[in-house]
Homo-oligomer: A and B are copies of this chain.
Amino acid sequence: MDSIITASYAVHFNEKGYEILNDQLVKNNYSKLFILVDQNTHNHCLPRFMGNIEGEYDFEIIEIEAGEVNKNIETCTQVWEVLSELDADRKSAMINLGGGVVTDLGGFVASCFKRGIDFINIPTTLLSMVDASVGGKTGVDLGSLKNQVGVINQPQLVLVDPEFLYTLSERQLQSGFAEMLKHGLISDANYWNTLKNVTNFNALDPLIHASVSIKNNVVVQDPTEQHLRKILNYGHTLGHAVESYFLESSNHELLLHGEAIAVGMILEGYLSYQLTGLSEPDLEDIKTTFLKRYKKVAFTKKDIEAILTLLKFDKKNSHGNINFVLLEKIGKPAIDVKVSSELMHEAFEYYAK
Protein backbone atom coordinates (compact mmCIF):
# COMPACT_ATOMS: atom_id res chain seq x y z
CA MET A 1 0.00 0.00 0.00
CA ASP A 2 1.21 3.49 -0.79
CA SER A 3 2.73 5.56 1.95
CA ILE A 4 0.89 8.73 2.93
CA ILE A 5 3.46 11.49 3.00
CA THR A 6 3.09 15.20 3.75
CA ALA A 7 5.54 17.98 4.52
CA SER A 8 5.46 17.28 8.23
CA TYR A 9 4.76 13.58 8.65
CA ALA A 10 4.65 10.21 6.91
CA VAL A 11 2.58 7.06 7.42
CA HIS A 12 3.97 3.84 5.98
CA PHE A 13 2.36 0.41 5.72
CA ASN A 14 3.31 -3.25 6.05
CA GLU A 15 6.64 -4.58 4.73
CA LYS A 16 7.54 -1.36 2.98
CA GLY A 17 7.01 0.41 6.29
CA TYR A 18 9.56 -1.80 8.01
CA GLU A 19 12.03 -1.19 5.17
CA ILE A 20 11.71 2.56 5.63
CA LEU A 21 11.90 2.24 9.40
CA ASN A 22 15.07 0.18 9.16
CA ASP A 23 16.60 2.73 6.79
CA GLN A 24 15.74 5.61 9.12
CA LEU A 25 17.19 3.89 12.15
CA VAL A 26 20.48 3.51 10.28
CA LYS A 27 20.41 7.02 8.84
CA ASN A 28 19.53 8.82 12.06
CA ASN A 29 22.15 7.04 14.14
CA TYR A 30 20.27 7.58 17.39
CA SER A 31 22.40 7.55 20.54
CA LYS A 32 19.88 5.27 22.21
CA LEU A 33 16.57 3.67 21.26
CA PHE A 34 13.72 3.22 23.69
CA ILE A 35 10.61 1.17 23.03
CA LEU A 36 7.53 2.08 25.03
CA VAL A 37 5.05 -0.77 25.48
CA ASP A 38 2.34 -1.84 27.87
CA GLN A 39 2.20 -5.39 29.24
CA ASN A 40 -0.06 -6.49 26.37
CA THR A 41 2.03 -5.15 23.52
CA HIS A 42 5.18 -6.27 25.35
CA ASN A 43 3.91 -9.85 25.18
CA HIS A 44 1.97 -9.90 21.93
CA CYS A 45 3.48 -7.28 19.61
CA LEU A 46 7.11 -6.72 20.58
CA PRO A 47 8.29 -10.13 19.29
CA ARG A 48 6.85 -9.49 15.81
CA PHE A 49 8.27 -5.96 15.80
CA MET A 50 11.74 -7.15 16.81
CA GLY A 51 11.62 -9.84 14.15
CA ASN A 52 11.28 -7.13 11.51
CA ILE A 53 14.19 -5.02 12.72
CA GLU A 54 17.45 -5.49 10.84
CA GLY A 55 20.73 -4.60 12.42
CA GLU A 56 21.72 -4.75 16.06
CA TYR A 57 20.40 -2.19 18.50
CA ASP A 58 20.50 -2.09 22.27
CA PHE A 59 16.83 -1.31 22.64
CA GLU A 60 15.73 -0.33 26.12
CA ILE A 61 12.18 -1.50 26.76
CA ILE A 62 9.99 0.70 28.98
CA GLU A 63 6.73 -0.90 30.05
CA ILE A 64 3.77 1.05 31.38
CA GLU A 65 0.53 -0.32 32.72
CA ALA A 66 -2.17 -0.82 30.10
CA GLY A 67 -5.42 1.10 30.12
CA GLU A 68 -6.78 4.61 29.80
CA VAL A 69 -6.67 5.13 33.60
CA ASN A 70 -2.87 5.12 33.34
CA LYS A 71 -2.74 7.75 30.61
CA ASN A 72 -1.82 10.47 33.07
CA ILE A 73 0.95 12.78 34.19
CA GLU A 74 2.14 10.36 36.88
CA THR A 75 2.90 7.73 34.23
CA CYS A 76 4.68 10.39 32.14
CA THR A 77 6.81 11.34 35.13
CA GLN A 78 7.76 7.70 35.65
CA VAL A 79 8.80 7.38 32.01
CA TRP A 80 10.76 10.66 32.14
CA GLU A 81 12.57 9.37 35.21
CA VAL A 82 13.40 6.07 33.53
CA LEU A 83 14.67 7.91 30.43
CA SER A 84 16.90 10.03 32.67
CA GLU A 85 18.21 7.03 34.59
CA LEU A 86 18.98 5.24 31.33
CA ASP A 87 20.92 8.26 30.04
CA ALA A 88 18.56 9.23 27.24
CA ASP A 89 19.88 12.35 25.55
CA ARG A 90 18.66 14.72 22.84
CA LYS A 91 19.77 12.36 20.10
CA SER A 92 17.86 9.42 21.55
CA ALA A 93 14.55 8.31 20.09
CA MET A 94 11.47 6.59 21.40
CA ILE A 95 9.40 3.99 19.56
CA ASN A 96 5.83 3.84 20.84
CA LEU A 97 4.46 0.36 20.23
CA GLY A 98 0.87 0.11 21.34
CA GLY A 99 -2.63 1.47 21.24
CA GLY A 100 -3.73 5.05 21.72
CA VAL A 101 -2.62 5.19 25.35
CA VAL A 102 0.94 4.25 24.43
CA THR A 103 1.16 6.46 21.33
CA ASP A 104 -0.58 9.49 22.89
CA LEU A 105 1.38 9.30 26.13
CA GLY A 106 4.64 8.26 24.47
CA GLY A 107 4.37 11.08 21.95
CA PHE A 108 3.84 13.57 24.76
CA VAL A 109 6.71 12.17 26.83
CA ALA A 110 9.07 12.34 23.85
CA SER A 111 7.89 15.82 22.81
CA CYS A 112 8.73 17.21 26.26
CA PHE A 113 11.82 15.21 27.22
CA LYS A 114 14.74 17.67 27.11
CA ARG A 115 12.39 19.86 25.06
CA GLY A 116 11.78 17.19 22.47
CA ILE A 117 13.34 14.02 21.14
CA ASP A 118 12.36 12.06 18.03
CA PHE A 119 9.61 9.48 18.30
CA ILE A 120 8.14 6.82 16.04
CA ASN A 121 4.58 5.54 16.40
CA ILE A 122 3.63 1.94 15.71
CA PRO A 123 -0.08 1.66 16.43
CA THR A 124 -1.15 -1.87 17.35
CA THR A 125 -4.91 -1.39 17.71
CA LEU A 126 -7.38 -0.63 14.96
CA LEU A 127 -8.35 2.54 16.81
CA SER A 128 -4.81 3.87 16.94
CA MET A 129 -4.09 2.85 13.33
CA VAL A 130 -7.01 4.79 11.88
CA ASP A 131 -7.18 7.62 14.39
CA ALA A 132 -4.03 8.27 16.42
CA SER A 133 -1.63 7.55 13.55
CA VAL A 134 -2.22 10.87 11.79
CA GLY A 135 -2.42 14.38 13.14
CA GLY A 136 0.28 14.75 15.77
CA LYS A 137 -2.04 14.99 18.74
CA THR A 138 -0.21 13.84 21.85
CA GLY A 139 -1.34 14.04 25.43
CA VAL A 140 -2.66 12.59 28.62
CA ASP A 141 -5.74 12.87 30.80
CA LEU A 142 -6.03 15.03 33.89
CA GLY A 143 -8.25 13.18 36.31
CA SER A 144 -11.32 12.34 34.26
CA LEU A 145 -10.68 15.07 31.71
CA LYS A 146 -9.48 13.43 28.54
CA ASN A 147 -6.39 14.75 26.74
CA GLN A 148 -6.40 17.87 28.89
CA VAL A 149 -2.59 18.09 28.81
CA GLY A 150 -0.63 17.60 25.62
CA VAL A 151 0.99 19.16 22.59
CA ILE A 152 0.67 18.88 18.83
CA ASN A 153 3.89 17.36 17.55
CA GLN A 154 4.58 14.98 14.68
CA PRO A 155 6.32 11.63 14.97
CA GLN A 156 9.30 11.02 12.69
CA LEU A 157 7.33 8.22 11.12
CA VAL A 158 4.24 6.10 11.64
CA LEU A 159 4.23 2.44 10.68
CA VAL A 160 0.86 0.73 10.25
CA ASP A 161 1.14 -3.06 10.34
CA PRO A 162 -2.35 -4.64 10.32
CA GLU A 163 -0.84 -7.98 11.37
CA PHE A 164 -0.96 -6.62 14.92
CA LEU A 165 -4.76 -6.71 14.72
CA TYR A 166 -4.68 -10.47 15.18
CA THR A 167 -3.67 -9.81 18.80
CA LEU A 168 -6.94 -8.00 19.48
CA SER A 169 -10.34 -9.15 20.71
CA GLU A 170 -13.46 -8.72 18.58
CA ARG A 171 -14.60 -6.04 21.03
CA GLN A 172 -11.42 -4.00 20.57
CA LEU A 173 -11.69 -4.29 16.79
CA GLN A 174 -15.28 -3.07 16.90
CA SER A 175 -14.14 -0.13 19.05
CA GLY A 176 -11.66 0.95 16.38
CA PHE A 177 -14.20 0.36 13.65
CA ALA A 178 -16.37 3.10 15.16
CA GLU A 179 -13.78 5.71 14.13
CA MET A 180 -13.82 4.32 10.60
CA LEU A 181 -17.60 4.58 10.48
CA LYS A 182 -17.15 8.18 11.61
CA HIS A 183 -14.87 8.80 8.62
CA GLY A 184 -17.73 7.72 6.37
CA LEU A 185 -20.26 9.92 8.18
CA ILE A 186 -18.14 13.06 7.95
CA SER A 187 -16.81 12.70 4.44
CA ASP A 188 -18.17 9.98 2.19
CA ALA A 189 -21.60 8.30 2.09
CA ASN A 190 -20.28 5.54 -0.18
CA TYR A 191 -17.54 4.70 2.28
CA TRP A 192 -20.16 4.62 5.06
CA ASN A 193 -22.28 2.20 3.03
CA THR A 194 -19.27 -0.03 2.38
CA LEU A 195 -18.28 -0.11 6.04
CA LYS A 196 -21.80 -0.72 7.32
CA ASN A 197 -21.77 -4.18 5.81
CA VAL A 198 -18.27 -5.22 6.88
CA THR A 199 -18.39 -8.28 9.12
CA ASN A 200 -15.02 -9.87 8.38
CA PHE A 201 -12.23 -8.09 10.19
CA ASN A 202 -9.50 -10.20 8.56
CA ALA A 203 -9.22 -8.13 5.39
CA LEU A 204 -9.22 -4.59 6.66
CA ASP A 205 -5.99 -3.40 5.01
CA PRO A 206 -7.52 -1.34 2.17
CA LEU A 207 -10.15 0.12 4.51
CA ILE A 208 -7.50 1.13 7.04
CA HIS A 209 -5.62 2.83 4.23
CA ALA A 210 -8.82 4.59 3.14
CA SER A 211 -9.51 5.82 6.67
CA VAL A 212 -5.97 7.07 7.20
CA SER A 213 -6.23 8.89 3.86
CA ILE A 214 -9.49 10.56 4.85
CA LYS A 215 -8.08 11.72 8.16
CA ASN A 216 -4.88 12.86 6.45
CA ASN A 217 -6.79 14.94 3.90
CA VAL A 218 -8.53 16.75 6.72
CA VAL A 219 -5.45 17.29 8.88
CA VAL A 220 -3.30 18.55 6.01
CA GLN A 221 -5.84 21.26 5.25
CA ASP A 222 -6.10 22.38 8.88
CA PRO A 223 -3.30 21.08 11.09
CA THR A 224 -4.13 23.24 14.12
CA GLU A 225 -7.90 22.65 14.15
CA GLN A 226 -9.09 26.13 13.32
CA HIS A 227 -11.98 24.99 11.15
CA LEU A 228 -12.15 21.88 8.92
CA ARG A 229 -10.30 19.56 11.32
CA LYS A 230 -13.13 20.01 13.79
CA ILE A 231 -15.21 17.59 11.70
CA LEU A 232 -13.11 14.75 13.12
CA ASN A 233 -14.80 15.49 16.43
CA TYR A 234 -18.16 14.25 15.20
CA GLY A 235 -19.62 12.07 17.96
CA HIS A 236 -16.80 13.05 20.28
CA THR A 237 -18.31 16.01 22.10
CA LEU A 238 -20.95 13.92 23.85
CA GLY A 239 -18.96 10.71 23.29
CA HIS A 240 -15.97 11.99 25.26
CA ALA A 241 -18.21 13.11 28.10
CA VAL A 242 -19.83 9.67 28.19
CA GLU A 243 -16.40 8.04 28.13
CA SER A 244 -15.03 10.30 30.89
CA TYR A 245 -18.05 9.67 33.06
CA PHE A 246 -17.81 5.90 32.73
CA LEU A 247 -14.08 6.11 33.38
CA GLU A 248 -14.45 7.91 36.69
CA SER A 249 -17.62 6.24 37.87
CA SER A 250 -16.94 3.04 39.80
CA ASN A 251 -20.38 1.47 39.40
CA HIS A 252 -20.31 1.33 35.60
CA GLU A 253 -18.65 -1.14 33.32
CA LEU A 254 -15.78 0.49 31.41
CA LEU A 255 -16.73 1.66 27.92
CA LEU A 256 -14.10 1.45 25.20
CA HIS A 257 -13.44 4.66 23.28
CA GLY A 258 -15.22 3.47 20.14
CA GLU A 259 -18.20 2.28 22.16
CA ALA A 260 -18.50 5.70 23.80
CA ILE A 261 -18.26 7.64 20.55
CA ALA A 262 -20.76 5.26 18.94
CA VAL A 263 -23.20 6.51 21.59
CA GLY A 264 -22.03 10.06 20.82
CA MET A 265 -22.62 9.60 17.09
CA ILE A 266 -26.22 8.51 17.67
CA LEU A 267 -26.82 11.39 20.10
CA GLU A 268 -25.27 13.93 17.76
CA GLY A 269 -27.16 12.35 14.87
CA TYR A 270 -30.34 13.30 16.70
CA LEU A 271 -29.03 16.85 17.22
CA SER A 272 -28.25 16.96 13.48
CA TYR A 273 -31.78 15.87 12.68
CA GLN A 274 -33.11 18.71 14.82
CA LEU A 275 -30.65 21.44 13.85
CA THR A 276 -28.84 20.87 10.58
CA GLY A 277 -31.30 19.06 8.37
CA LEU A 278 -30.18 15.44 8.68
CA SER A 279 -33.05 13.38 7.23
CA GLU A 280 -35.01 10.95 9.34
CA PRO A 281 -33.91 7.93 7.24
CA ASP A 282 -30.26 8.96 7.63
CA LEU A 283 -30.77 9.31 11.39
CA GLU A 284 -32.39 5.89 11.60
CA ASP A 285 -29.60 4.42 9.46
CA ILE A 286 -27.00 5.81 11.91
CA LYS A 287 -28.83 4.54 14.97
CA THR A 288 -29.48 1.08 13.53
CA THR A 289 -25.93 0.67 12.26
CA PHE A 290 -24.34 1.51 15.59
CA LEU A 291 -26.78 -0.42 17.77
CA LYS A 292 -26.20 -3.51 15.61
CA ARG A 293 -22.51 -3.37 16.53
CA TYR A 294 -22.44 -1.78 19.98
CA LYS A 295 -24.56 -2.82 22.95
CA LYS A 296 -27.04 -0.18 24.00
CA VAL A 297 -25.92 1.63 27.14
CA ALA A 298 -28.48 2.31 29.89
CA PHE A 299 -28.27 5.84 31.23
CA THR A 300 -30.08 6.93 34.39
CA LYS A 301 -31.28 10.53 34.81
CA LYS A 302 -28.39 11.05 37.21
CA ASP A 303 -25.92 9.70 34.65
CA ILE A 304 -27.17 12.12 32.02
CA GLU A 305 -26.92 15.11 34.35
CA ALA A 306 -23.36 14.17 35.28
CA ILE A 307 -22.38 13.66 31.64
CA LEU A 308 -23.73 17.06 30.64
CA THR A 309 -21.80 18.64 33.50
CA LEU A 310 -18.59 17.09 32.20
CA LEU A 311 -19.30 18.55 28.77
CA LYS A 312 -18.27 22.02 29.79
CA PHE A 313 -14.70 20.82 30.13
CA ASP A 314 -14.58 19.67 26.55
CA LYS A 315 -11.77 21.21 24.55
CA LYS A 316 -14.11 22.38 21.81
CA ASN A 317 -15.55 25.00 24.15
CA SER A 318 -14.72 28.66 24.02
CA HIS A 319 -16.28 31.58 25.81
CA GLY A 320 -18.54 29.16 27.66
CA ASN A 321 -20.37 27.92 24.54
CA ILE A 322 -20.40 24.31 23.48
CA ASN A 323 -19.75 23.92 19.80
CA PHE A 324 -20.83 20.72 18.07
CA VAL A 325 -19.94 19.18 14.78
CA LEU A 326 -23.19 17.94 13.30
CA LEU A 327 -24.27 16.45 9.98
CA GLU A 328 -26.32 18.00 7.20
CA LYS A 329 -26.50 14.57 5.65
CA ILE A 330 -24.37 11.44 5.72
CA GLY A 331 -21.00 12.50 4.30
CA LYS A 332 -21.54 16.24 4.87
CA PRO A 333 -20.68 17.81 8.23
CA ALA A 334 -21.46 21.25 9.69
CA ILE A 335 -19.14 22.81 12.29
CA ASP A 336 -19.59 25.19 15.23
CA VAL A 337 -23.25 24.48 15.89
CA LYS A 338 -24.52 25.57 19.29
CA VAL A 339 -26.93 23.25 21.05
CA SER A 340 -29.28 23.88 23.96
CA SER A 341 -29.21 21.73 27.04
CA GLU A 342 -32.86 20.73 26.44
CA LEU A 343 -32.02 19.27 23.06
CA MET A 344 -29.18 17.25 24.55
CA HIS A 345 -31.61 15.73 27.02
CA GLU A 346 -33.94 14.91 24.13
CA ALA A 347 -31.07 13.22 22.33
CA PHE A 348 -30.59 10.86 25.25
CA GLU A 349 -34.33 10.11 25.15
CA TYR A 350 -34.08 9.31 21.44
CA TYR A 351 -31.10 7.05 22.11
CA ALA A 352 -33.01 5.14 24.80
CA LYS A 353 -36.12 4.65 22.65
- Name A's B-contacting residues (CB within 8 A): 31, 73, 76-77, 80-81, 84, 87, 89-91, 108, 111-116, 137-139, 142-143, 145, 147-152, 312-313, 315-320
Contacts and interface: CB of A to CB of B under 8 A. Distances in A.
A81 B145 CA distance: 10
A89 B315 contact: yes
A178 to B, nearest CB: 23
A317 B117 CA distance: 13
Contact of A115 (B84, B139, B317): B139
Contacts of A319: 31, 89, 91
A320 B318 CA distance: 46
Given A77-B73, A90-B318, A318-B91, A151 B31 contact: no
A151 B116 contact: yes
A150 to B, nearest CB: 5
Specify how many copies of this chain sit in the oligomer.
2
A25 to B, nearest CB: 15
B145 A111 contact: no
Nearest to A76: B73
Nearest to A139: B115
A91 B318 CA distance: 6
Nearest to A77: B73
Contacts of A315: 89-90, 114-115
9 contacts: A31-B318, A73-B73, A80-B142, A80-B148, A84-B145, A87-B312, A89-B320, A90-B316, A114-B147
A152 B151 CA distance: 11
Nearest to A108: B112
A54 B66 CA distance: 51
A73 B78 CA distance: 11
